[in-house]
Amino acid sequence: MGAVIADPWLEWAEHRPRPRVLHLDSAAAGRQSVATLDATAAQARLEAEMGACVAQEQVGEVLAQLRRDVAGLLGTPPDGVAFVESATAALAALFASWPLPDEPRVGVVAVEWGPNLEAFAARGFTIVDLPHDGTGRLDLGALEQQLADHPPTVVHLTQVTSHRGLVQPVAEAAALCRVAGIPLWVDAAQAIGHVDTATGADAVYATSRKWLAGPRGVGMVAIAAQHWDALRIRRSTMSPADLPAVAHLESHEAHVAGRIGLATAVREYLTLGSDVVNARLDEVGRLTAKALADIEGWAVVGGSTPGNGAITALRPTTGQDVFATRTRLLTEHGILTTAGSVARAPRDMQEPLLRISPHVDCTDEALARLVEALADR
Ligand SMILES: Cc1ncc(COP(=O)(O)O)c(C=O)c1O
């Protein structure tokens, strides 16, 4: 069987360091390109040569372009973007700055990312279930009714589910929330670089390291312009007086070299064409689910429906230990996957799942190797 891989995806792989494993784990962290790694390293080096602050001033235009690019991806003006350390830090920044009533209620779908549920509970939110269609996908008709009858303070959607293949109809939900006057926050940690994240939501947050294949330690939050004046921002006298409100959410100290690396990773994504990459990732998800459909002892969660993105989860059907399987795949077969515990989505998962998340360079050979390794037990 010959490799059925279109040229841009072969090039995508060739622009990365040669992998020592079969990397099927982009939902944890994507493989950075050589140019991204070089850009990060060059900035770190410049800091040692020139002093950190001078080095930062010298790349001011690269950082400004990154802000414009990320703003375009998340659908806000550049002044609405703040860079932080991670998606988790971005959600914390939203909690700190968004004007909230004393007893806030957040509407979520059952597939919600577990650590987000914990963060909302810790911040005093009551969690309210949003209706879904049985597959975990938000039911838009029922949402409209719920927003009219019992609106929560905030609707929160994880646009691409982390533990299995599923993409929420965020743009449609944003339109309904706008009409109802309820803010929509979107966790785009698994969505940026993967699906269209410029959806009209009120706040969107994400991370560099997954589908954009940028450096670790860089996250971002984007807030729609109509909310800027109401944000609870602590303006420091150390900051320039004309600093945009949302930029006050950025930490004073930051992994600037990582942001410079991300600037390259985002440019690579945009140069390939976000629509083209997103379509390829959806195809990769379907190919993966199809290839894994008939392995004895494993069932694909949710099947291979188009539009579900590049993440596929396998459920053990004969009591296998998913964590031991993940270790066996890595140590005996050199295949990197994720074993996901129920805590990742406690309202959706009944058991741990094995997550497979290849990037655009996925091949039939790679999937065949995984199938063979899973069958060999
Ligand atoms: C859906 C989702 N949200 C949030 C996060 C947390 O991202 P970070 O590690 O950047 O805080 C993850 C990480 O896997 C995720 O999958």
Which CATH number goes with the domain that contains 327? 3.90.1150.10
* Mean pLDDT over the full length of the chain: 96
For the chain, percent of residues with pLDDT exceeding 70 = 98
Residue 247 lies in a domain: yes
Residue 352 lies in a domain: yes
| Closest ligand 1 atom to 160 CA | 1
How far apart CA 304 and CA 367 sit, in angstroms, is: 14
18 exposure class (CB count in 10 Å sphere: 0-12, 13-18, 19+):
exposed
Task: Name the domain boundary from 271, 289, 317.
Answer: 271
How far apart CA 206 and CA 165 sit, in angstroms, is: 18
Residue 252 — very low, low, confident or very high, per pLDDT cuts 50/70/90? confident
Measured by CA distance, the residue closest to atom 12 of ligand 1 is 189
Residues 161 and 300 in one domain: no
| Closest ligand 1 atom to 158 CA | 1
Contacts 24+ apart (CB under 8 A), 12-19: 12/272, 12/359, 12/360, 12/361, 13/361, 15/268
Q: Sign of dihedral through CA atoms 271, 274, 275, 279? A: positive
pLDDT of residue 372: 97
pLDDT of residue 237: 84
Residues 146 and 208 in one domain: yes
- List 299's β-bridge partners, or say none: 315
pLDDT of residue 328: 98
Contacts 24+ apart (CB under 8 A), 169-172: 169/137, 169/138, 169/140, 170/197, 170/199, 170/201, 171/196, 171/199, 171/200, 172/140
pLDDT of residue 303: 72
How far apart CA 361 and CA 147 sit, in angstroms, is: 41
Residue 5 — very low, low, confident or very high, per pLDDT cuts 50/70/90? low
The secondary element (H helix, E strand) that includes residue 65 is: helix 60-74
Give me the phi and psi of 128, to 5 degrees please.
-115, 135
pLDDT of residue 50: 98
Which tokens belong to 248? 């006050």
Residue 298 lies in a domain: yes
150: how many CB neighbours lie within 10 A of its CB?
Answer: 10
Residues 68 and 184 in one domain: yes
Residues 76 and 219 in one domain: yes
Q: What residues are in contact with ligand 1 under a 6 Å CB criterion?
A: 86-88, 113, 158, 162, 187, 189-190, 207, 219
Which tokens belong to 44? 């770190």
- The alpha carbon of 65 and the centre of ligand 1 are apart by a number of angstroms equal to 24
Residues 209 and 316 in one domain: no
- Per residue in 187-211, pLDDT (tens digit) is 999 999 999 999 999 999 999 999 9
pLDDT of residue 251: 81
Residue 2 lies in a domain: no
Task: Name the domain boundary from 218, 250, 271.
Answer: 271
* pLDDT at residue 2 greater than cutoff 60: no
Task: Name the domain boundary from 228, 243, 271.
Answer: 271
Residues 169 and 89 in one domain: yes
Poorest-confidence range of 41-55, 120-134, 301-315, 353-367? Answer: 301-315
- Per residue in 277-335, pLDDT (tens digit) is 999 999 999 999 999 999 999 999 987 778 999 999 999 999 999 999 999 999 999 99
Residues 191 and 70 in one domain: yes
How far apart CA 188 and CA 307 sit, in angstroms, is: 16
Domain count, the chain: 2
Residue 192 lies in a domain: yes
| Closest ligand 1 atom to 209 CA | 10
332: how many CB neighbours lie within 10 A of its CB?
Answer: 10
Q: Is the pTM of this model over 0.95?
A: yes
How far apart CA 182 and CA 81 sit, in angstroms, is: 21
Shortest CA distance to 165 belongs to which of 364, 356, 19?
A: 356
Residues 127 and 148 in one domain: yes
For the chain, percent of residues with pLDDT exceeding 90 = 93
- The alpha carbon of 371 and the centre of ligand 1 are apart by a number of angstroms equal to 27
- List 154's β-bridge partners, or say none: 106
* pLDDT at residue 377 greater than cutoff 90: no
Residues 265 and 320 in one domain: no
* Alpha carbon distances (Å) from 24 to 194, 200, 368: 15, 31, 13
- The alpha carbon of 64 and the centre of ligand 1 are apart by a number of angstroms equal to 25
Report which of residues 252 and 26 the model is more confident about: 26
Residue range(s) defining the domain that contains residue 222: 36-271
Residue 1 lies in a domain: no
Residues 102 and 229 in one domain: yes
> Which CATH number goes with the domain that contains 100?
3.40.640.10
Residues 229 and 297 in one domain: no
Give me the phi and psi of 113, to 5 degrees please.
-60, 125
Q: Match 């309904």 to its residue by tokens.
A: 176
DSSP assignment string, 118-187: HHHHHTTPEEEEPPB-SSS-B-HHHHHHHHHHS--SEEEEESB-SSSS-B--HHHHHHHHHHHT--EEEE
Residue 111 lies in a domain: yes
Residue 204 lies in a domain: yes
Q: Are 289 and 281 in contact (CB under 8 A)?
A: no
Residues 59 and 122 in one domain: yes
